[in-house]
Amino acid sequence: MIELSGITKTYARSAVKAVDGLSVTVRNGEIFGFLGPNGAGKTTTIKVITGVLRADEGQVRVDGVDMSADPLKAKRRIGYVTDNPELFARLKAAEYLNFVADVYGVDTATRQERVSRYSGLFNIKDVLNASIGSFSHGMKQKLLVTASLVHDPDNWVLDEPMVGLDPKAAFALKEIMRERVAAGKTVFFSTHVMEVAERLCDRLAIINKGKIVFTGTFAELKVLQGADGSLESLFLELVADGEEGKE
């Protein structure tokens, strides 16, 4: 479970709040989608959840563990896939996976089993002895996804995970998401793509200019905005409201 309450974050070089008083709860056993236009604050929120950035105000709790009070314990409970798969280019993929497994204290047999399974699903098993620098963007992304699962985290947090994946990999990713929530774990991911979210998510939040403009199920979203019109247009309506007054 991931609980955010009153999260606010302003970057040092910026006057505007990237995230502004954001509260959201991701329950166990649900895939939670985080939608919003470019610059809405999705990545910033995800970095706060994963402890990469510290919020100016508010609290992050991961399975009840306060991120600022006990960051290591909170972070152990999270698997994080960034939107930027730039990794250590000189390392071999297998070395990177071993490094991650060491950090999380995963024993040899368990890490081998998990790496074998996920690298197999993502078709990178045969290239694990190549250097990461020789990987394509999508291959790096698949490696990052594999690495994020090495410690079998209860909370899986992914920033735009479908971007750059081929259809087979995207399918595998969705299957893994479903499998994890079926086991009572949590999946939280950001996306721009409404159709992906609609097919996959149990609940979603829509963020615009750092503020949540909707939280609920797709059924609730449709009721809120009227039954007519596509979800794409509902989304545009919701994020258009915050645009008023902008020069």
Ligand X SMILES: Nc1ncnc2c1ncn2[C@@H]1O[C@H](COP(=O)(O)OP(=O)(O)OP(=O)(O)O)[C@@H](O)[C@H]1O
Residues that bind Mg ion (CB under 5 A): 42-43
Residue 41 site contact among Mg ion, ligand X, none (CB < 5 to 8 Å, cut-off depends on kind): ligand X
Pick one of 7, 31, 41, 82: the residue that binds ligand X (CB under 6 A).
41
191 binds, among ligand X, Mg ion, none (CB under 5 to 8 A by kind): none
Residue with tokens 């910026």: 14
| Cβ atoms of 155 and 2 closer than 8 Å | yes
Write the CB contacts of 13 (distance below 8 Å, at least 6 apart in sequence): none
Q: Which stretch binds ligand X (CB under 6 A): 10-18, 59-67, 120-128, 181-189?
A: 10-18
Task: Catalogue the E-assigned strands of 38-171.
Answer: 57-62, 65-66, 78-81, 155-159
Kindly state whether residue 38 participates in binding ligand X, applying the rule CB under 6 A. yes
Q: For residues 97 and 199, what is the distance between their CA atoms, to the nearest angstrom?
A: 31
Closer residue to ligand X, CB minimum distance, 14 or 108: 14
Q: Would the CA dihedral through 78, 82, 85, 91 be positive or negative?
A: negative
Nearer to ligand X, 13 or 90 (CB): 13
Q: Which stretch binds ligand X (CB under 6 A): 12-20, 106-114, 131-139, 171-179?
A: 12-20
| Segment near ligand X (CB under 6 A); pick from 9-17, 73-81, 102-110, 146-154 | 9-17
**What is the distance between the terminal CA atoms of the chain, rounded to a whole angstrom?**
39
Residues of the shown chain interacting with ligand X in the complex, contacts defined by CB under 6 A: 11, 13-14, 18, 36, 38-44
